[in-house]
């Protein structure tokens, strides 16, 4: 399994010892606010088992600090194997420090350089201004608005679709 390293972060595969962190992440109302309802523990355990087996999902930590800050991962499309969907969740105490931006950029670079992905898609609720800012800062472009397409607790939200092409990330890196 891959380990991704940035100037201050280590993104490593899920381990059995990450269960308590994952449960805490998935039971945090502030984290789940834009993702969905808090699932029963048995469902969270099944999701965790899938994370353990997944090839491109990572726990985010600062170097030399065992405390997990969030998770991030790619789901490679079976129909379009050169495309992936990106998802991430960050603990509230780790927000506002550039951690999500750094992790998103690193995973996208990893996908383009090591997984043969040429495009990455991300879905974000229109109300999730923080994630929108992260995606746009990384070079993602909004390509579609799915009106009232995502429901949480009986409330329908607009779902925005973002896309990052391999060439766009390279172009942005040259500008930086």
Nearest to 97 by CA among 130, 140, 120: 130
pLDDT exceeds cutoff 70 at 176: no
Query: For residue 77, what pLDDT is reported?
Result: 85
Indicate the number of domains in the chain. 1
Q: Residue 9, class by beta-carbon neighbours within 10 Å (0-12 exposed, 13-18 middle, 19+ buried)?
A: buried
Q: For 33-51, what is the mean pLDDT?
A: 96
pLDDT single digits (tens) 100-142: 999 999 999 999 999 989 999 999 999 999 999 999 999 999 9
Percent of the chain with pLDDT over 70: 95
Query: For residue 169, what pLDDT is reported?
Result: 66
Dihedrals phi, psi of 82, to nearest 5 degrees: -95, 10
Half-sphere exposure of 116 toward its Cβ, with a 13 Å CA cutoff? 4
What's the CATH number where 145 sits? Answer: 3.40.630.30
Q: For 151-171, what is the mean pLDDT?
A: 89
Nearest to 151 by CA among 125, 113, 114: 125
pLDDT band at 2 (very low <50, low <70, confident <90, very high): confident
pLDDT exceeds cutoff 90 at 34: yes
Half-sphere exposure of 136 toward its Cβ, with a 13 Å CA cutoff? 10
Residue-number span of the structural domain to which 47 is assigned:
4-175
Secondary structure element (H or E) that encloses residue 30, with its range? helix 29-32
1 token code pair? 């399994």
Q: For 35-62, what is the mean pLDDT?
A: 96
Contacts of 154 (CB under 8 A, 6+ apart): none
Query: For residue 168, what pLDDT is reported?
Result: 72
């Amino acid at each position: 399994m891959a380990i991704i390293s940035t100037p201050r972060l280590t993104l490593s595969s899920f381990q059995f010892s990450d269960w308590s962190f994952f449960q805490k992440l998935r039971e945090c109302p502030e984290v789940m606010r834009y993702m969905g309802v808090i699932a029963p523990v048995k469902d969270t355990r099944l999701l965790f088992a899938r994370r353990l087996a997944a090839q491109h999902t990572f726990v985010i930590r600062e170097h030399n600090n065992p405390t997990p800050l969030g998770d991030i991962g790619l789901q490679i499309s079976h129909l379009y194997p050169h495309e992936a969907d990106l998802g991430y969740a960050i603990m509230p105490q780790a927000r506002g420090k550039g951690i999500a931006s750094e992790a998103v950029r690193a995973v996208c670079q990893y996908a383009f350089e090591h997984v043969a992905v040429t495009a990455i898609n991300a879905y974000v609720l229109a109300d999730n201004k923080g994630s929108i800012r992260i995606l746009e800062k990384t070079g993602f472009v909004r390509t579609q608005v799915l009106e009232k397409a995502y429901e949480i607790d009986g409330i329908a939200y607009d779902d925005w679709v973002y896309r990052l092409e391999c060439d766009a990330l390279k172009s942005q890196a040259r500008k930086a």
